A and B are shown apart, each in its own frame.
Chain A
């Protein structure tokens, strides 16, 4: 079903409801949602557009006392009252109580009070304002599905050069040159062979850091050959090396070869009871399955890695946090947010136990969890975590500016979700400065987020400029065929077309770019619609 079809269904429901209300008294219609404030406002405008003859008002509960809220409704007399931030009423028991006390008087007005209720308050509001809830015949759900086409700033578990500064890249290139020369001077006789193997290992690692996987594999296979010749009885060594080669193959998108090597690694590790390696290999296998899209196998295998580690090394063994984080990523791929949140919460606790609280890795875990909170609509929880992550990033001298920019960008998303565009814009504009124009896919994410904020605040020309910059970065770093590049290109074309038409852009749901909102579903809770009668 298209967005329009959903809107039509929703509109039909509301029209019927309003017809019901016409000569009927007061109704309360909660819309349980995970959508950010900009999307809620777009839903509101859509309703207003469909019912131009109805008086409407919007109240922001945060800024009003209970009395002024009630008076705003009285002044409306008849029509639709929107409450954007119903959660602030729920968080203030005195305000909620005053509203409850006024219910009898409110019921004499022919008004539909439509309140957006964040998911995290789904149960609480029914307990806090039971009399008001009793006036609802209809409970709607506005489910916002995040687009996975855009880059997620998952600060990767495996640091394989993702955030290398230029000088670190240069250093690695320097070592590759020197090591390649040295390799020519080192024979493969008995006296030199071990030294040669370490040269190959370093060459493999540095090439992998620079994403030069084919080169890394070249050295890796030489190392594997050498190892089979000299260490064929040393299965632990073979386990480790096969795991390494397997990882390189899947980074190079050669998934079949990756699985072969990882399964060999697992076999060697199990034969030698090589405790530490077994969950590591299982985890790598799981990550390879995920890349292939075989999510069920990925879940099974990474779960096994976690179970093995907990049993053999203890619940808070440091590596378990990595497995939990990556398993959460798999759940997110199949759109299961709840298990992902549980896993990321555990990973964060594990990391805080094992490292000092200001360690950069703690910030990574906080960020990853916060992003999923956002997807579940829990923007405030996300904001709190992202503030902490940004503080840690700033404290760490080792954090490069790009990492700080990414943290700022994540936090800006949370502020945007809470409707605080000013703060979001300031964070993102500063993040752009910090990146210094470096070409990195994560920079495109910063530009794209800023484009959203400019669009929310109607600065469409600036929004177009940001889309354009994001597009150029992605073109250079990921190529024109990459889904992210294509997605951003569509956004750019859309907004350029709008500007060229010089029309005032009406922000209705069906005008929003597909690439930004993949699915917005308004689902009428038919049980309520059919069963309740007016008092």
Chain B
């Protein structure tokens, strides 16, 4: 991915990769702009020393589950790659990133799918890193997986072979690969596989946990890490809100059976369940960077940082002047993703106009995006937005009731400052619908 030097390069440069690898040339640290966010809290929740990134959990039975909640496009996936970089060391973790977005069916998902996918990813890493394991542990896992295969093979065109008897990780990997295939294939097959997994759930989870501990032991012996840590990304992209809730809340009893350190991205609408989630996990918010203060005055530091963020991806000469970019930043509301959308749209207009990106292009882009993003605003939303406007005008804190949480989840409203400040997304505010009904 290269820096865009012409207008026609801009769209591909901005769309190609939204989540950046650590140390990528495009990466810009926005964390100090996220009011109320302290990265150390994540590390502490994982029992990682913040000075030297070492794992210091005294009780080996205690494993941590940490949920990180943030609105879509706020930079969570990019931050994940940073955390992996720091946590992946011999004194801390062996990190396994499990991004379900392109690997599982987001329209039809249960926790058992994620469980199988996690272990498959782990085994893939172990094979790549040539980590040798106790064969007894492999045999135990083969034994229970073979029982599952026996139950499902031959049903509704499912064709799946048991492990061939050789006590290798490759063997198990192939079997899990097949299970994942059927889990995302069609509704009937996925249901059969899931039912079999649930039927054997407790035996399976005991074997998985034994496997994890055997891996931990081996990692320590080889001085590669102290413990495994799974990082689950993509759950917030699961299509239905009901399914997302089921995965995290209703199936939490399955999640906590997997005894391993886990860092999971939490769908933002479930942040209000923090009280219940904190019974077994730690919930941390990753708020949007603030580009303006409570009184809506621009924060110069934030603007400079976002200008840097854009300049690293796009040759600054493609803009007519800095004010043009500032205008785009203002309407992004602090969301890097929104900013990319505005500039990408403006670049298309600029190509058409055969000019650089100017205020007019930005203005037209904003109008178009405002119309698109306000398409699904309904009467209930309008009433809530009126209420929000009034509360903010009078300086009254906004409650965390269901209506506002839904608007945040749909990215109609943005949240800042320890989640104490809610504002209408600038692109929504710019829409004719909003102007007409809310003013």
Q: Which of B59, B151, B203, B213 lies in contact with A230, CB distance below 8 A?
A: B59
Contacts of B209 in A (CB 8 A): 198
**Does A197 belong to the interface (CB within 8 Å)?**
yes
- Evaluate contact between B206 and A230: CB separation under 8 angstroms: no
Q: What separation, in Å, do the CA atoms of A273 and B170 have in the docked complex?
A: 41
Residue of A nearest to B147 (CB): A398
Question: Is B216 within 8 A of A194, CB to CB?
Answer: yes
Q: How far is the CA of A179 from the CA of B143 in the complex (A)?
A: 14
Interface bits A224-261 vs B (CB < 8 Å: 1, else 0): 00010011001001000000000000000000000000
Q: Which residues, 173 to 210 on B, are CB-close (under 8 Å) to A? A: 191-192, 195, 198-199, 203, 206, 209-210
Interface residue stretch chosen among A141-149, A185-193, A263-271: A185-193
A199–B137 alpha-carbon span in the complex (Å): 9
What is the bound-complex CA distance between A398 and B155, given in angstroms? 11
Task: Name the contact of A202 in the complex, choosing from B150, B191, B206 (C-beta under 8 A).
Answer: B206
Q: Tell whether A205 is near chain B: CB-to-CB under 8 Å.
A: yes
Taking a contact as CB atoms under 8 Å apart, the answer to whether A198 and B210 are in contact is yes
A179→B136 contact, CB < 8 A: yes
Kindly state the separation between the CA atoms of A396 and B203 in the bound complex, as whole angstroms.
21
Residue A178 at the chain B interface, CB threshold 8 Å: yes
Using known A-B contacts A175-B140, A202-B140, determine if residue A234 contacts B62 with beta carbons closer than 8 Å: yes
Across the two chains, which residue of chain B brings its CB closest to A275? Answer: B253
- Kindly state whether residue A129 has any CB partner on chain B within 8 Å: no
Contacts of A355 in B (CB 8 A): 195
Q: How far is the CA of A191 from the CA of B222 in the complex (A)?
A: 13
Contacts of A272 in B (CB 8 A): 279
A201 located at the interface, meaning its Cβ lies under 8 Å from any Cβ of chain B in the complex: yes
Given A191-B220, A202-B140, A237 contacting B206 (CB threshold 8 A): no
| A24 contacts B by Cβ under 8 Å | no
Q: Is A15 an interface residue (CB 8 A)?
A: no
| Chain B residues, Cβ within 8 Å of A205 | 203, 206
Q: How far is the CB of A163 from chain B (nearest CB, A)?
A: 13
> Does A356 interact with chain B (Cβ within 8 Å)?
yes
Cross-interface CB contact of B279 among A201, A227, A273, A398, cutoff 8 Å: A273
- Give the chain A neighbours of B253 by CB distance below 8 A: 275-276
B150 touches A397 (CB 8 A): yes
Contacts of A199 in B (CB 8 A): 210
- In the complex where A178-B136, A202-B206 touch, is A398 in contact with B60 (Cβ < 8 A)? no
Task: Quote the shortest CB–CB distance from A188 to chain B (angstroms).
Answer: 11
Give chain B residues whose Cβ lies under 8 Å from the Cβ of A396. Answer: 151
Which of B62, B136, B195 touches A356 (beta carbons < 8 Å)?
B195
In Å, the complex CA distance between A153 and B319 comes to 81
Which of B134, B139, B195, B210 contacts A359, CB < 8 Å? B195
The residues of A that contact B154 with a CB separation of less than 8 Å are 397
Residues of B within 8 A of A231 (CB): 59, 61-62
- Find out whether the CB atom of B279 lies under 8 angstroms from the CB atom of A194: no
Nearest A residue to B209 via CB reads: A198
Q: Are A398 and B217 in contact (CB under 8 A)?
A: no
Q: Is the CB of B217 within 8 A of A191?
A: yes
Q: Does B21 contact A (CB under 8 A)?
A: no
* A398-B150 in contact (CB<8A): yes
A182 contacts B206, CB within 8 Å?
A: no
B214 close to A (CB within 8 Å): yes
Residues of A within 8 A of B62 (CB): 231, 234
**Cα distance A202–B210 when bound, in Å?**
9
Minimum distance in angstroms from A274 CB to a CB of chain B = 9
Whether the pair A194, B206 counts as a contact (CB closer than 8 A) is no
Which residues of chain A from 334 to 374 have a CB within 8 Å of any chain B CB?
355-356, 359, 361
Q: Per-residue 0/1 for B50-66: is the Cβ within 8 Å of any A Cβ (1 yes, 0 no)? A: 00000000011110000
Q: Is A482 on the interface with B (CB-CB < 8 A)?
A: no
Residues of B within 8 A of A178 (CB): 136, 139
For B134, what are the chain A residues with a Cβ–Cβ distance below 8 Å?
182
Most buried by B among A198, A205, A273: A198
A208 to B168, CA, bound (A): 28
Residues of B within 8 A of A175 (CB): 139-140, 143
Q: Which of B139, B153, B206, B279 contacts A198 (CB 8 A)?
A: B206
B59 neighbours in A (Cβ, 8 Å): 230-231
Interface centre among A205, A227, A356 (most CB of B within 10 A): A356
Name the CB-closest residue of B to A198.
Answer: B210
Roughly how many angstroms separate A121 CA and B195 CA in the complex, as a whole number?
A: 40
Shortest distance from the beta carbon of A216 to any chain B beta carbon, whole Å: 14
Closest residue on chain B to residue A171 by CB atoms: B143
Who on chain B is nearest to A193 by CB? B60
**Beyond A198-B210, A397-B153, A398-B150, is A230–B60 a contact (Cβ under 8 Å)?**
yes
Cβ-defined partner of A197 (8 Å) among B61, B139, B192, B198 = B61
Interface residues of B (CB under 8 A from A): 59-62, 134, 136, 139-140, 143, 150-151, 153-154, 191-192, 195, 198-199, 203, 206, 209-210, 213-214, 216-217, 220, 253, 259, 279
Q: A230-B59, A230-B60, A273-B279 are in contact. List 19 more A-B contacts (CB 8 A).
A: A190-B60, A194-B60, A194-B216, A198-B210, A199-B210, A205-B203, A205-B206, A231-B59, A231-B62, A234-B61, A234-B62, A272-B279, A355-B195, A356-B192, A356-B195, A359-B195, A361-B199, A397-B150, A398-B151
25 contacts between A and B (CB under 8 A): A171-B143, A179-B136, A191-B60, A191-B220, A194-B213, A194-B216, A195-B213, A195-B216, A197-B61, A198-B206, A198-B209, A198-B210, A198-B213, A202-B206, A202-B210, A230-B61, A234-B62, A272-B279, A273-B279, A275-B253, A355-B195, A356-B195, A361-B199, A397-B154, A398-B151
The 8 A-B pairs of least Cβ separation, nearest first, read A198-B210, A195-B213, A276-B253, A194-B213, A398-B151, A194-B60, A230-B61, A231-B61
